Structure 1
Amino acid sequence: MTAVNATTPFGRRPMTLGQISRQMAVRAAKPESSVHKWHVFQDVREARELLGATDRSLAILNALLSFHPETTLGGEAELIVWPSNEQLAARANGMPATTLRRHIAVLVDSGLVIRRDSPNGKRFARKGRGGEVEQAYGFDLSPIVARAEEFKELAEAIRNEKKAYRVAKEQLTLLRRDIVKLIEVGIEERVPGNWGRVQQSYQAIVGRLPRSAPRQSVEDVCADLHALCSEIREVLETFAKTQNPVANESHSGRHIQNSNPDSNYESKNGLGQNKEAGSDAAETDNVRSLPKRELPLGIVLEACAEIRELAQGGAIRHWRDLLATAEVARPMLGISPSAWRDACGAMGEQHAAITLAAIYQRAGQINNAGGYLRSLSDRAKEGKFSTWPMIMALLRAKLDAQKSAESAGEREARGGTEDGERLQVSSKLLATLQRPQPR
């Protein structure tokens, strides 16, 4: 009597067209084909997401492969193994029985093994007089041989995708670094151009990138950043040719001059009208009588409302939001990274951000924001500067402007909309604002 291999599962387990097609693929495999089972298992492990397998199901497949004595699996050999659930769980690191059954079903659905169930659902082998296996019921490992090339191609596709994603991430990092440093060069070297708008364009492109971005999104952002970087580099190279025709850095007077962080661009002695524009803050020599508590963020934002325009989403809710917005405003004001580091070191990051927000609020009255910030940093090192008078001066100016607007009838001309924009201060703060400031 000819032995019959079961093609349908035992009991209530359903049969699907997918299982039938995979059994057809096994029967169509070349009898002379042979594979190294652990090499194929490595390909299956790399392509498990495309195959629909899980890490637990692969642990079971590893155990099933270990029950076959041969390392090389051939198309002509009998590739059925029949371990019990207890034996299989022991080799699968003690996996619980319910988990074992669930992930065996995943292996079958993925087409990695085929069930060859006995009439009663038990797994066993019937042997002849010579000890050879005549009939076996259990798990058929033939798909490992029949689909070996498919698994290899899927694993290669996964490796190529990972490589492409890694290259895209590297390109993104390099482009971001290049653009940021090239913008700083344009600002420090005073290259003609709207560098604030360039900074905003860069932030807008990078802002499109989600935290866990797919490769296609990373490549799209890289393409836009590459175009922006090319434009910036072209502007800088064109300017460099006009300033240094010899193209020799050792003979470039401009390069030597601007390599000094205390050059005329941000010189303390070249402030001009800046001293007058910030006299309420910069000329306060005695800060002992000022409040010892920190400035509330709400008061800072009332005094420096224009800084909100640069914030991501137009909102500043925490001090870290103000610090991030100050990093955006710094290159727009023409403040070099060295001047900003000096300010953070002298005042602390929070007070440096407050100072920069105040400078941005009065940017139209300050000709040299970088030099002005260096001057305030030097006064802070000597203990002669506080952000309180600077913010109070801005609030006082805002209150005076509101009083002038009301007396001139602008409130009625705007249809009463100014009530929602009116600056609201407490009585104690109002008394502080009306108090004569120390000179």
Structure 2
Amino acid sequence: MAMGNVTTPFGRRPVTLALVKRQVSASESQTSRQVEKWRVFRDASEARIELGLQDRSLAVLDALLSFYPESELCHGAQMIVFPSNAQLTLRAHGIAGATLRRHLALLVNAGLIFRKDSANGKRYARKDEEGAVESAYGFDLSPLLTRAGELAIMAQKVVAERAAFRKTKECLTICRRDVRKLISAAMEEGAAGDWQTIEDIYVGVVSRIPRSPTRAQLDSLLDEMSLLRDEIVNQLELHEKSQDMSINGAHIERHIQNSKSESFREFEPSSEKEQGANSSKKKQAKNEPLKAFPLSVVLKACPQVIDYATGGIIQNWRDLMSAGVLVRSALGISPSAYEDACEVMGPENAAIAVACMLERTNMINSPGGYLRDLTRRSRQGEFSLGPMVMAQLRANGHGLGKTG
């Protein structure tokens, strides 16, 4: 290890091995490029939280860079600035002396500047006969050049995370508005459904939105709110279909009564080809797979399924479907019953169904018969996984929250 470029601070300030390592790394860096100093400052400002800095720290760094005469940091140049504390205080907008020292220490600990203290701790420059700086003692700005690429990457990540947070927050706001208005519309128009329970679930989710949420918290709440919105839409679609069937049935019945001379065969397809087409359409409508729910919501509702996953981890839908096969075997469900469920519901939703059954295994006498009944109802368009998943969320304390 070359120790010629390592300096220790003056006075009682201690030196750490991390500081020594950073100084050695900076001195061994052979970078030949130059970087605009204010661009590096902007990147450091974006990444200040990652670096453990505060707003005042950036004000002090801004003041230090203002004492560097060039606009670009360049390898081989003299990048040590040596302003007095009084000069720094003036350019840092009147910051107090103790505060100035604290934030200088934060900049050193963050690895953005180095101290190069003289024998007596004073900051100054010694010049040669031609007036060029021969040696200087103060704050070394070379780490900003060495870490310019790293700081740029950190800044990009912070900006991307901020944009993703803003997008998630907007989506949650829109989804929350949709759910509130759909519930109100359903109640006002008398649509069939347990709308009071759904409204209680909505209030519970809203009550758990923190004042200053993290992105992970918003993602989780958005998954729950999206699930609730999808379930409301499904119930409203079922209500609309039932009304259409009632109207069509009444219309057909009146048509039959007023057309005694007409043959019933006129209501049937006129050819085998049309019969096959209609049969295919009906089968397609019945076997149309249900929408899969967000995986995070499913795992909240059915945590026991994780015990059946390889390595005890479920990271994607493939992991859940693999665990579903083991749950099927553990519950004593025949392979044929599970295959029928996968064909009608879709493999993801079949896995969700058996995961919910696992949570209620003490309440189900015949899991195989229960799954076949769910499959039959799904084939006829009479079953939705939404209430099943939401019931498990409430049972595990996720669906409802305390208000007031």
* Aligned-partner residue type, residue 54 of structure 1: Q
Kept after mapping to 2: 8 A contact 1:82/1:138 = yes
Match of 1:129 in 2: 129
The match for 2:227 is 227
Alpha-carbon distance in structure 2 between the residues aligned to 1:157 and 1:135? 38
Query: Equivalents in 1 of 2:5, 2:11: separation in Å?
Result: 16
Report what 1:238 is aligned to.
238
What is the match of residue 148 of structure 1?
A: 148
Tell me: CA distance 1:110–1:122, structure 2 relative to 1, closer, same or farther (3 Å).
Answer: same
Residue 192 of structure 2 aligns to a residue whose secondary structure is: coil
By how many angstroms is 1:238 displaced? Answer: 2.6
User: Residue 10 of structure 1 aligns with which residue?
Assistant: 10
Displacement after TM superposition at 1:33 (Å): 1.9
**Residues 226-266 of structure 1: per-residue CA shift (max 9 Å, x gap):** 11110110111232234358xxxxxxxxxxxxxxxxxxxxx
Note the 1:214-293 alignment, pairs <5 A.
Answer: 214-244=214-244
Kept after mapping to 2: 8 A contact 1:29/1:75: no
Q: Distance in 2 between matches of 1:9 and 1:101?
A: 13
Shift of 1:95: 1.8
Question: Following TM superposition, by how much is the alpha carbon of 1:144 offset from its aligned partner in structure 2, in angstroms?
Answer: 0.7
Q: CA deviation at 1:22?
A: 1.5
SS in structure 2 opposite 1:12?
coil
For the residues of structure 1 that align with 2:187 and 2:98, how far apart are their CA atoms? 66
Deviations 1:60-82 (A, max 9, x none): 11111011110111112110011
Shift of 1:88: 1.3
Distance 1:68 1:244 in 2: 77
CA distance in 2, matches of 1:124, 1:202: 66
How many Å separate the matches in 2 of 1:188 and 1:62? 60
* Residue 39 of structure 1, CA deviation: 0.5
By how many angstroms is 1:190 displaced? Answer: 1.4
Determine the structure 2 residue equivalent to 1:138.
138
Q: Distance in 1 between matches of 2:213 and 2:195?
A: 28
1:178 maps to: 178
Shift of the alpha carbon at 1:19? 0.8
AA aligned opposite 2:83: P
1:130–1:6 distance in 2 versus 1, CA, 3 Å: farther
Point out 4+ residue stretches in structure 1 off by more than 6 angstroms: none
**Contact (CA 8 Å) 1:57, 1:103: kept in 2 or not?**
yes
CA distance in structure 2 between the partners assigned to 1:6 and 1:198 by the alignment: 66
1:35–1:148: 8 Å Cα contact kept in structure 2? yes
CA distance, structure 1, for counterparts of residue 179 and residue 54 of structure 2: 42
Distance 2:101 2:201 in 1: 55
2:28 match: 28
Q: Which residue of 2 aligns with 1:194?
A: 194
Once the two structures are superposed, the pairs formed by residues 37-186 of structure 1 within 5 Å of their partners are 37-186=37-186
Structure number with bigger Rg = 1
Determine if contact 1:31/1:74 at 8 Å carries over to the other structure.
no
Most deviating of 83-92 and 203-212: 203-212
Instruction: Identify the residue that residue 204 of structure 2 maps to in structure 1.
Output: 204
State TM-score, norm by structure 1. Answer: 0.53
Distance change >3 Å, CA 65–CA 37, structure 1 → 2: same
Contact between 1:48 and 1:54, CA under 8 Å: does it hold in 2?
yes
- How many aligned residue pairs are there? 242
TM-superposed CA distance for 1:225, in Å, is 0.9
Instruction: Provide the C-alpha distance between the structure 2 equivalents of 1:36 and 1:110, rounded to a whole number of angstroms.
Output: 20
Letter matched to residue 150 of structure 1: E
Which segments of 5 or more consecutive residues in structure 2 lack a partner in the other structure? 246-404
Deviation at 1:209, TM superposition (A): 2.2
Contact 2:191 2:239 in 1 (8 A): yes
Distance 1:212 1:44 in 2: 24
Aligned residues of 2:6 and 2:23 also touching (Cα < 8 A): no
Query: How big is each residue's C-alpha offset from its partner over 1:160-202, in whole Å with a ceiling of 9 and x where there is no partner?
Result: 1111111111111111111111111211221111111111111
Question: Contact between 1:114 and 1:139, CA under 8 Å: does it hold in 2?
Answer: yes
Distance of 1:222 and 1:97 partners within structure 2: 47
* Corresponding residue of 1:367: none
Structure 1: give runs of 5+ residues left out of the alignment.
246-439
Of 172-181 and 88-97, deviating more is 88-97
In the TM superposition, residue 117 of structure 1 has moved relative to its aligned partner by 0.5
SS in structure 1 of the partner of residue 40 of structure 2: helix
Map Cα deviations across residues 256-282 of structure 1 (whole Å, 9 max, x no partner).
xxxxxxxxxxxxxxxxxxxxxxxxxxx
Distance in 1 (CA, whole Å) between partners of 2:5 and 2:117 is: 9
Deviation at 1:102, TM superposition (A): 1.8
CA shift, 1:114, in A, is 0.1
Q: Name the SS for the 1:136 alignment partner.
A: strand
Inter-CA distance 102–227: structure 2 relative to 1 (3 Å threshold): same
> Shift in Å at residue 44 of structure 1?
0.6
1-structure distance, mates of 2:47, 2:200: 41
Cα distance, 1:25–1:244 mapped onto 2, change above 3 Å: farther
Alignment partners' CA distance in 1, 2:77 and 2:46: 26
Equivalent-residue separation in structure 2 for 1:215 and 1:136 (angstroms): 46
Is the CA contact 1:6–1:117 (under 8 Å) kept in the aligned structure 2? no
Contact 1:31 1:76 in 2 (8 A): no
Larger CA deviation: 8-17 vs 99-108: 99-108
Give SS of 2:38's match: helix
One-letter amino acid of the counterpart of residue 115, structure 2: R
What RMSD over aligned residues (CA atoms) do the two structures have, in Å? 1.5
Q: Find the aligned partners of 1:212 and 1:146 in 2 and give their Cα distance.
A: 35
Contact 2:31 2:146 in 1 (8 A): no
Distance, in Å, in 2 between the alignment partners of 1:155 and 1:25 is 22
SS in structure 1 at match of 2:73: strand
